[in-house]
Amino acid sequence: MIPGRASTLAQATPDQVDALLLFFCGALVLLAAFGLAFFVGGLSGGARAARAFRFVALGAVATILLSALGGYGMVAGAPLIPHLLGIPDPGFASLSGTDPAASSPYPAAHAGYVIAVLALCTAVVAVAVSSRLTLRAWIVFSVVWLLLVVSPVAYGVLSLDDGWAAAGLQVVDFGGALPVIAAGGSAIGVLLACGRGERQPTQASRPGLVAFGGAAVWVGWLGLVVGSEGALDAYASLMAVGAFVASAAGVLMWMLVDAVLLRRPTLGSALWGSFAGLVSVTAASGVLTLGWAMLVGALSALACATMVDLAARARFGPSLTLCVVTTVGGLVGLLFPGLFASGGGMIDSGNFDLFIAQGIAGMAVLLYATTMSLLIALALRFSVGLTRIRYGAARGIPEKRPVRPDRTVPPVAGAGTVAPPVSGTVTDPPEVGPAR
């Protein structure tokens, strides 16, 4: 044992311990962001997983740079536009103070955690649209989307004294379910702008990548839930255990639904169920007992699995499943405290105030994020370009190419002759005489 090491650890202040918790939770959140790429992308093959990883990395880079240039202040700073937007904080100047060496590490750790949460929301959109958008379109979209969509939504949750959701509507959203709902709705808006007709993957699912990514999301999402408490207290441990219980209930419910409807629960069933349970427990993680956490995880998995089965005809593949889980699961978790919260829930208090506030916040964020993302994507579609495939080919219209006069038809296997050159015009087939 190093001499003096124990005494040094004993002198750690509560701020330093809480800052260490936030640093650790921020790292877990980033793990969940990159795990989504392997989980959802691996369902369509290794190439899709690699492309989703690139999109997530670029989205994380854009989030970090914009936060350093002043974006962090827009979501967690003093009000610039009351209830909607904070004052930009270039270089995190307000966090260091006059003497950075003597200042507390907690503000910087909290800023890192918030940036990691924003990167996770960006990763949800990145994974959902990675198979459709070009890299150029994604970079432009992510920057505009972070400024116009994420900033007002995140400010409403993170600014406890002035935010439109936390301070105005008194919404219960501990872990940041509203930004997650905004990410899912934004992905829906982009996919609507791209249109249907996504090319089916040529590679089969990669179970190894899916299992690794699903496990990373499962473990990493705990950082989002526990880090929202912001301190290492008794509630943090209860939130962690509640998240585990909710995810386990989601696994069992989704597999049960697949066993009834499809007769074959799969690895994806278990991982999607765990993800649905984690998304649902995010909003009310600080006020749920273990029994209520189990119930909300099961209800979320049931709702998500049913909606995924109904929406399968849209032919968007795993991207649509990700959008459904983040939006439907987030809404279920957001509405749950309005019904069962102690003292303010409808069952306990007999009034609908909290339930209505939760519903208004969730639906408003979903509609705003979907509409704004659709408009941004349409603007990109008619300016710098949006999708990787031709729009005519996406609608099933075959591409017409002129036939060159000097082009010859390759010989058919087994035939002893070579077809003559094809002319530029199509001729009628030779007439066949009557059978003798």
* Bridge partners (DSSP) listed for residue 85: 81
CA dist 429 to 361, 395, 415, 426, 432, Å? 67, 31, 20, 9, 9
Token couple for 427: 């001729």
Q: Please say if the pLDDT value at position 246 is more than 90.
A: yes
Predicted local confidence at residue 273, as pLDDT? 94
Could you give the CA distance from residue 209 to residue 213 in angstroms, rounded to a whole number? 6
Residue 176's nearest CA partner among 104, 96, 239, 233 is 239
Predicted local confidence at residue 6, as pLDDT? 45
Range with the poorest average pLDDT among 18-32, 59-73, 194-208, 284-298: 194-208
Predicted local confidence at residue 54, as pLDDT? 96
Could you give the CA distance from residue 382 to residue 73 in angstroms, rounded to a whole number? 32
Could you give the CA distance from residue 88 to residue 79 in angstroms, rounded to a whole number? 10
* Bridge partners (DSSP) listed for residue 133: 387
Residue 95's nearest CA partner among 122, 114, 119, 116 is 114
| pLDDT mean across residues, the chain | 83
pTM of the model: 0.84
Please, what sign has the CA dihedral across residues 16, 21, 24, 27?
A: negative
Predicted local confidence at residue 397, as pLDDT? 38
Could you give the CA distance from residue 288 to residue 337 in angstroms, rounded to a whole number? 8
Range with the poorest average pLDDT among 53-57, 191-195, 299-303, 409-413: 409-413
- 387 phi/psi in degrees, rounded to 5: -100, 165
Residue 79 host element (H or E): strand 79-81
Range with the poorest average pLDDT among 123-132, 195-204, 396-405: 396-405
Residue 272's nearest CA partner among 255, 289, 285 is 255
Predicted local confidence at residue 7, as pLDDT? 44
- Quick one: pLDDT band at residue 314, thresholds 50, 70, 90? low
Predicted local confidence at residue 100, as pLDDT? 58
- Counting beta carbons within 10 angstroms of the beta carbon of residue 388, is it exposed (0 to 12), middle (13 to 18) or buried (19 or more)? middle
